[in-house]
A and B are shown apart, each in its own frame.
Chain A
């Protein structure tokens, strides 16, 4: 089916824009960038329908082999692509949502420098992301995995004149490297024990292993894969890079840091479900990490004032839900939430971008308000996204979140309750952001006085410099994608029943024994969150201020994200750098090792310096040495002879 065409279209787009982009006009660059992703999307559709994915087919994976990548002894790794129903879902999400975001970005980036560079990176990202989901072995998955990390690094640091942006890029890359450390160790263990990295071979071997005796190394493999996933998908303890990643342009936040790349960890664990199902301990840990991340990120989201930061923490939190789904055995529910989240979170970010666009770069919620009438299309679409994430039926998030929480209830009721409380918080902080943006009075300065550039301080993505001509709705090229995503956020849940579609891969549990209220309570929590946000931020704005004052320490802890960054900095980064400088470099390397080397050199020179005196070049000196030597020899012989003679 020529699967390779799917990633190759955006790759060609990357090459064209990357090499010739500086000489191309913006319409041409846009056409290449968005067009290549559209071609890719169409080819996905054609391939999937050809394989019968839309008509009950594709129950087995379809594999294509292209060429041998690495061959060494027993190790043989091919460039192989495979499509099964899980990949099909990912392909649709990545190319579909990816295309919409490309179109949006044409409008959003219109007045930015480095237009061609942006789209070259974005297309390269699509290429690697498609490799990631198409790869038929762990190493190819890893290629995509690292490749999307690279693009994430480049796009976070897109505004490379700003130090905070490149700092954020470095942080993302390095924190992800820590995760990849785990992933790569898992790969080595898998090859050592299975003799292959092909998904097909590894998983069929696992299925033949007895479940009762899952060996320690298999648990190690799963935990190491989980380490990789916590890096890429921003889970505790490696989530710290994602909020900073908002330094990149907003379409990047939507595409990479919400809809697609950050879900790679979820995909990878779902892909490796055969391994995880054999080691129930590690699944339990997946669930706990997911739940903890969902909860803590939601609490941080309560107190953020940057609209993108709010959505960033909500992404971390929603990814936690997906992990909770995976960990409680509801793999398909996790993937379902991955899809609906891609719709509504891309929508929320792009909508936020549209707000930022309207306000000429302003991201601070305290400088917004009352925008409902000024940018009505953006507002309407954003509220669709808000209702979806809050889990209000019939919006898409309701269905997938419900499936996860039901699975959590069966697994352990306390997980269900924590997840439900988190759902309430989610609804609260998302609607807090929306109410602060659209309701009440406008608190910003645009149109009142001359636009003040100083608002573009730390944490802002520099958007919209030099075009501050009043608050305005975004052009069609931006709100068009918003509208499509809004529709998907509404209907995506009941239209696409992912668990049923994925049944050939993930067996569905027998439903039953779940009380009816289990599905109701999270919904009620969602409504309560929205209602509370309405009371706090529309009806009585004085309440949150007095609350923040009353619980000052708690508010400060949350506002400062529990000081996790500072903690990592003082316990890991500083000691490592300072220790390397003083202990390793100055003391060990320059002092000890090189000191020894130079010391040997000096000693040799000193000894030579003494011996040098014997070589004066004067005959009489040499004659004197000969005489002295002879005397010494004779004396020695006499003495030695005397001693031995005496002994005799």
Chain B
């Protein structure tokens, strides 16, 4: 039992404990638990090479193998930071079945941390599916009018992908005799597990499909706008900030190192889809009358950058992609919170219901503006770093791609500033003036950490980037080495992106 186990298992204990807490104390209980977990998880920063490897099920040999490195460290911290924030934004918003709500939220935290630290493929799959359940209920019970449709769509989309992944995991087990990630990786790298190009491609596609739905990569994104629009604020925050990163994390952790040849072979069309998603998501976001849909489509655009960076197979591209995962978690999470703040006052998500909010709520307007600027990649705020690194990485591969992807940067200014103008500027209508009040202390407390992170991550990247860079260099080295060996053995195809 080390620190990592504690961070992973505390949410499970917290979930169980919440079931026995009296209903009226459930939100305070959830806040205390999630804050406690966050404080404990901060200690991971100092020692991020922890791991535990213990037997779980004897046959088939499934192990409780968890570990943390530069890739998972910040994603775990993002999860533990956003859970108490999600509790805080639900404080007033959730007024029925509170206890179940908070229990599901903490269960979701458990699943998410598990996904990021699992080193056993079966264990990973279990956590992957655990995440689905609480989110399904968060949307389906506490969502808006079309919540059932959205919840089912979310569930089926994701299930369709994960079934493929499960098949691939079982196939890998049959070939290698183990579910252990590092064991399989070393078998592949030493050539003891030799996959034919065709098999490798199929396995890659099975994993990739599952992750691509989660990202979501164009054209598999249509569950996202529905899920976001219908989800309660906390659901949207967790979904956008952390859950989408399960997909991109999986791409980096599994798709690249395990199936490097297939990854290289497919890179061109995956990059093409990513770039399509960047522009498409931005254009569709531009014409959305609904705020949450707008932010949802902007996520499609932003995550296109992440995928583009990953499949550039360059240090900058990969670093930028991982950094962008965190950036998107912080700034889009904040956007959904702020949209939630607006909704709690005016009870509408339509942009046209607003206008002139800056006059009655200047602090809200300021905070929203900073978040908007972070989202459109203003230098000195976080997203700029990620976008810059991704595009620089992609520039090594193809300037044409970068030119197209950078159009997304122009468009992001269009849709975000237009939304901001229509919501906050102008004269306040009577409805707005009557309903709007400025940020409360609780709302300040929930949003300030994210604002601080936007500035911190944009100005002083040395806190975060070295750990990420180190791990990415390792992944890249494995990917490239294997790739080069295979290329020499099998095909004369020129390695891309070196």
Could you tell me which A residues sit within 8 Å of B by CB distance? 67-75, 139, 142-143, 146-147, 150, 153, 157, 160-161, 163, 166-167, 169-170, 173-174, 177-178, 180-181, 184-185, 188-189, 191-192, 576-577, 579-581, 584-585, 588-589, 593-594, 597, 601
A150 to B358, CA, bound (A): 18
B413 touching A177 by the CB < 8 A rule? yes
> Which of A71, A167, A169, A181 is within 8 Å of B410, CB to CB?
A181
Contacts of B425 in A (CB 8 A): 157, 160-161, 163, 166
A174 touching B379 by the CB < 8 A rule? no
B219 beta carbon closer than 8 Å to chain A? yes
Residue of A nearest to B363 (CB): A22
A174 touching B156 by the CB < 8 A rule? no
Interface residues of B in 251-301 (CB under 8 A from A): 280, 283-284, 286-288
> Which of A73, A157, A174 is within 8 Å of B469, CB to CB?
A73
> Which of A72, A181, A191, A588 is within 8 Å of B395, CB to CB?
A191
B403 beta carbon closer than 8 Å to chain A? yes
A67 to B320, CA, bound (A): 20
A166 touching B287 by the CB < 8 A rule? no
B284 touching A585 by the CB < 8 A rule? yes
B306 beta carbon closer than 8 Å to chain A? no
- 13 further A-B contacts with Cβ under 8 Å, apart from A185-B406, A589-B222, are A69-B459, A70-B389, A72-B320, A72-B469, A74-B315, A142-B379, A147-B379, A150-B373, A160-B424, A180-B409, A181-B410, A184-B406, A576-B286
Interface residues of B in 24-57 (CB under 8 A from A): none
B417 touching A173 by the CB < 8 A rule? yes
Q: List 27 A-B contacts (CB under 8 A).
A: A69-B460, A70-B389, A70-B465, A71-B461, A71-B469, A72-B316, A72-B319, A72-B469, A75-B315, A143-B380, A146-B379, A147-B378, A147-B379, A160-B425, A161-B359, A161-B426, A166-B421, A169-B421, A174-B413, A178-B410, A181-B407, A184-B409, A188-B391, A192-B392, A577-B286, A585-B284, A589-B222
Given contacts A160-B426, A185-B406, A188-B395, A170 and B319 within 8 Å (CB-CB): no
Q: Is the interface of B mostly helix, strand, loop or mixed?
A: helix
B358 touching A160 by the CB < 8 A rule? yes
B396 beta carbon closer than 8 Å to chain A? yes
**Size range of the interface on B?**
35 or more
B480 beta carbon closer than 8 Å to chain A? no
> Which of A72, A170, A173, A177 is within 8 Å of B465, CB to CB?
A72
Residue of A nearest to B417 (CB): A170
Given contacts A73-B319, A580-B283, A170 and B391 within 8 Å (CB-CB): no
A183 to B223, CA, bound (A): 36
1/0 contact string of B360-384 vs chain A (CB within 8 Å): 0000000000000100001110000
Residue of B nearest to A220 (CB): B399
**Closest approach, in angstroms, between the C-beta of A190 and any C-beta of chain B?**
10
> Which of B284, B288, B380 is within 8 Å of A147, CB to CB?
B380
A174 to B410, CA, bound (A): 7
B343 beta carbon closer than 8 Å to chain A? no
B402 beta carbon closer than 8 Å to chain A? yes
A148 to B461, CA, bound (A): 22
Residue of B nearest to A79 (CB): B459
Given contacts A181-B406, A181-B407, A191-B395, A69 and B461 within 8 Å (CB-CB): yes
**Closest approach, in angstroms, between the C-beta of A247 and any C-beta of chain B?**
12
> Which of A69, A180, A185 is within 8 Å of B403, CB to CB?
A185
A177 touching B409 by the CB < 8 A rule? yes
B286 touching A189 by the CB < 8 A rule? no
Given contacts A75-B316, A161-B427, A174-B413, A584 and B407 within 8 Å (CB-CB): no
B83 beta carbon closer than 8 Å to chain A? no
**Closest approach, in angstroms, between the C-beta of B470 and any C-beta of chain A?**
11
Contacts of B315 in A (CB 8 A): 72-75
Given contacts A73-B314, A161-B427, A188-B399, A170 and B410 within 8 Å (CB-CB): no
A157 to B424, CA, bound (A): 12
B329 beta carbon closer than 8 Å to chain A? no
> Which of A142, A184, A593 is within 8 Å of B222, CB to CB?
A593
Residue of A nearest to B358 (CB): A160
Give 5 closest A-B pairs by Cβ, nearest first: A73-B315, A188-B395, A580-B283, A581-B287, A143-B379
Please indicate which of the listed interface residues B287, B359, B418 has the most CB atoms of chain A within 10 Å of its own CB: B287
B414 beta carbon closer than 8 Å to chain A? yes
Contacts of A69 in B (CB 8 A): 459-461
Residue of A nearest to B418 (CB): A170
**Closest approach, in angstroms, between the C-beta of B185 and any C-beta of chain A?**
23
A580 to B396, CA, bound (A): 31
A580 to B288, CA, bound (A): 10
A180 to B391, CA, bound (A): 14
**Closest approach, in angstroms, between the C-beta of A188 and any C-beta of chain B?**
4
A594 touching B222 by the CB < 8 A rule? yes
Residue of B nearest to A576 (CB): B283
A67 to B319, CA, bound (A): 19
A584 to B389, CA, bound (A): 29
A174 to B414, CA, bound (A): 6
Contacts of A576 in B (CB 8 A): 283, 286
B61 beta carbon closer than 8 Å to chain A? no
**Closest approach, in angstroms, between the C-beta of B74 and any C-beta of chain A?**
15
Contacts of B379 in A (CB 8 A): 139, 142-143, 146-147
Contacts of A143 in B (CB 8 A): 379-380
**Closest approach, in angstroms, between the C-beta of B345 and any C-beta of chain A?**
19
**Closest approach, in angstroms, between the C-beta of A367 and any C-beta of chain B?**
26
**Closest approach, in angstroms, between the C-beta of A645 and any C-beta of chain B?**
40
> Which of B222, B396, B399, B462 is within 8 Å of A185, CB to CB?
B399
Contacts of B466 in A (CB 8 A): 71
B389 touching A181 by the CB < 8 A rule? no
B140 beta carbon closer than 8 Å to chain A? no
Residue of A nearest to B320 (CB): A72
B340 beta carbon closer than 8 Å to chain A? no
Residue of B nearest to A585 (CB): B284
